[in-house]
Structure 1
Amino acid sequence: MVWEKRGFQMTILMVLAFIWGSSFILMKIGLKSFSPEQAGALRILLASLALLPLSIRNLKSIRKEDLKSLLIAGFIGSFFPAFLFMKAETQIDSSLAGMLNSLTPVFTLIVGMLFHKTGFRWLQVLGLSLGLAGATGLILAGDGFHLGTVNSYAFYIVLATCFYAISINQIKAKLPHLSGIQVTSLSFLFIGPVALAYLFTTNLQAVAANPSWPVHLLALATLGIVGTALAMLLMNSLIRHSSAVAASSVTYIIPIFAIMWGVLDGEKITLLHLACMGLILTGVYLISRKGVKKTA
C-alpha cells in the first residue's frame, strides 16, 4: 500500500509539519479579536463542521467497544489541546510554541512503554534524543529564541503534548481496524457539539469591538479546516500505517517551519539554526528506521 512506503510517509510528515508549523501564527492572528476560549472553541467547531459529511457517512462504523477510544482521541487528542495552546499563546511567542510541541514524541514513547507495553529500538531512543537536542538548540539559538522567554504558560503546551501522546498511543493500540478518516471524523462528531455549547457561554458581543474581526475569524477558519480537520485526517492515517512514535515525530520538524515564519517576519537564521535542523531531521530518520531488534 502507498501509505506503507517510507518516502510517502516522509512526504506526509513534511506536509503536516508545514500545516502545524503555520498554525501557531494563525492562532496569534485569531487571538487579536477572540479570547483563548472562543478561539479554541471556534477551531474545534469549524473543524467538526468540515468533517460532518464524513462523520455522518461513517456513523455505521462505530462499535460499542470503540466508543471510549474515540472519546479519548476527540477530547484528549484535539479538544483540550486546542484550548491549552490558545491559552499559552497569550503569553509566549508562536515560534516558541512550535518548538515546545516537539516534546510530543518523547511522551509518546514513554506512554507507549508504560501503558501499552510498546517495545522500543535503541536507535529510536537515540533519534528521540537527537531530535530533542535539536529542538532545544533552536530555543537557545538567539534572536528571539532564548530559553529565558519560557514562563509558566509554557507548561500548558507541555500538558498538551502529554495529551497528544495519550491519544496517539490509544489510536494505535485500540483502533487499528478503523481508517484515519473514520477515527478523525467520528472523534470530532463528539467534540463539535461540546465546542458549540461552550462558545455560547462566552461574550461574543465583545468580538465586534475590533473592526478587523472578520480577518481574524478567517485565520481561525483556516486553522480549523486545514490546520485541524485536514491535518488530523493525515495524522490519524499515518498512525495507522506506522509506529506511534514515528508518526508523532512530525513535531520535531515543526520548529523548522516556525523558524521560516520568523525569517519572513524579519528574523535572522544562523548556521546554528541549520545545524539544529540537521539534528532534528537525523532524529526523525532514526525514529522511522525499521529492522532493528525491539526491546520490551
Structure 2
Amino acid sequence: MSGSLKWIYLIVLSLIWGSSFILIKKSLIGLSPFQLGSLRIIVTGVILLAIGYGSLKTIHKSKWIWLIISGFLGSFFPSFFFAIAETEIDSAIASILNSLVPLNTILMGLAIFKITSTKRQVLGVIIGFVGTAMLILKGAHLNPHQNYWYAGFVIASTIMYAANVNIIKKHLQDVKPLTIAAGNFLPIIFPAIIILFFTGFFSEFNIEDPKLKMSLLYVLILSIFGTALAKVLFNKLVQISTPVFASSVTYLMPIVALIWGLIDGEQFHVIQALATVVILVGVYLSNKRA
C-alpha cells in the first residue's frame, strides 16, 4: 500500500506546488515580494498552529534545533526568494529551475548526511537534470528579455530545500508530519510579521484597491494549499519514501507550471514537450529503491 500511496502523494504535491508559481506571479500584481513572502508565512503559520499547536508538546527538546533550521531553510527564505525571482523571470522558468532540488538532495545527502543513493537513482537525477536544462535553454531563447541573474534566488532555494529534506529524513523521521509543519512555522512567523511591518503594508493598506484584493485572495489560496497542506503532505512523503523520491516532485511541478503559464500567455515550444518526457523518465528511475 505504501508503494502506491507515495505516488499519490507525489502527484497531488506536483499539482499543488506546480500551481503555486502562477499564484505567486498573480500575487505580485498588488504586493511587493517582501509583502507576499511575509503574508504567505503568516497566513500559513496561523493555519498550521491553529490545527497542530497541541502536538508541539510531544516534541522532544533535542528535536527543536532541527525544526527551527528546517523552518528557515524549507519555508522562510524560499518564500521571499521565489517572490523576488518572479519579479524578473516567468513562473514556469522558476518552476523549471526548482528541478535542481533532487540533484542537490543526492549530493548533500551523500556529502553531509551520509544518506546513500543507488547508481540508478543518480542516473535518474542526471536524466531529469538534462531535461531541466533543455527546458531552461529553450525558455531563455523564447524570453531573451528576462533577467536570469534572478534565477540565483531560485537556485539558492533549491539548495535550502535539499538540506531541509535531508534534515527531515535524518533527524525528524519519528516526528508526525503535522507536528513538523507546525514546529517549522512557530519560530518563523514572528520574523515574518516584523518584515511585513517594515514594508509599509499596514500604513498603505487599502482594501478598496482591486489589485490588492485579488492579490490577497491568491496569497490565501497559496498559503492554504501551496504551503500549509503541501508541507504536511511533503513531510509524510519524505517519511514513507526517500529524500530523492520525495524531492523528485520538483521534476513534475514544471509540467503543471508550464500548463498554467501557457494558459496565462507564456510561450511553449515542442522542445519543452520533449524535455518533459525526459524529466518523467528521470522521475521513474530516481524512484528505484525508493
Under a length normalisation based on structure 2, what TM-score does the superposition of the two structures give? Answer: 0.93
Alignment partner, residue 206 of structure 1: 204
Q: AA paired with 2:66?
A: S
Whether 1:240 aligns to 2:229 is no
Displacement of 1:64 in angstroms is 1.1
State the one-letter code of the partner of 2:192: A
Structure 1 residue 178 corresponds to structure 2 residue 166: no
Count of residues paired in the alignment: 288
Alignment correspondent of 1:86: 83
Equivalent in the alignment of 2:261: 262
1:60-84 alpha-carbon deviations (Å, 9 max, x no partner): 1121110111001111110011011
Which secondary structure state, in structure 2, belongs to the residue aligned with residue 19 of structure 1?
helix
User: Take 2:42 and 2:60, find their aligned partners in 1: how far apart are those partners?
Assistant: 24
Letter in 2 for 1:193: F
Which residue does the alignment assign to 1:53?
A: 50
| CA distance 1:259–1:187, shift in 2 (3 Å) | same
Q: What residue is the counterpart of 2:226 in the other structure?
A: 227
Deviation of 1:159 after TM superposition, in Å, equals 0.4
What is the SS of the residue equivalent to 2:148? coil
- SS at 1:137 equivalent: helix
What's the offset of the Cα at 1:269? Answer: 4.5
Any conservation in 2 of the 1:22–1:261 contact (CA below 8 Å)? yes
Q: Percent of counterpart pairs with the same letter?
A: 39
CA shift, 1:237, in A, is 0.5
Could you tell me whether the CA contact under 8 Å between 1:246 and 1:288 is conserved in 2?
yes
Deviation at 1:274, TM superposition (A): 2.6
Q: Which moved more, 1:97-106 or 1:204-213?
A: 204-213
TM-score (norm 1): 0.91
Task: Work out whether 1:42 is the aligned partner of 2:39.
Answer: yes
AA in 2 matched with 1:136: A
1:134-165 deviation line (CA, Å, top 9, x unaligned): 11212233597457845211101100110101
Give, as a single letter, the amino acid of the residue that structure 2 aligns with 1:180.
P
Q: CA offset at residue 206 of structure 1?
A: 3.2
2:114 corresponds in structure 1 to 117
Question: 1:198 Cα shift?
Answer: 2.2
CA displacement at 1:185 relative to structure 2: 1.5
Residue pairs, 1:154-193, within 5 angstroms: 154-193=151-190
Q: C-alpha separation between the residues in 1 aligned to 2:188 and 2:90?
A: 28
SS in 1 for 2:149: coil
Unmatched runs of 5 consecutive residues or more in structure 2: none
Residues 118, 289 of structure 2: 8 Å contact kept:
no
Unaligned runs of 5+ in 1: 292-296
1:217 corresponds to: 216
The one-letter code matched in structure 2 to 1:284 is V
AA of the residue aligned to 2:76: F
Q: CA deviation at 1:193?
A: 2.3
Corresponding residue of 1:294: none
Q: Is the 8 A contact 2:45 2:189 kept in 1?
A: yes
Q: Shift in Å at residue 229 of structure 1? A: 0.5
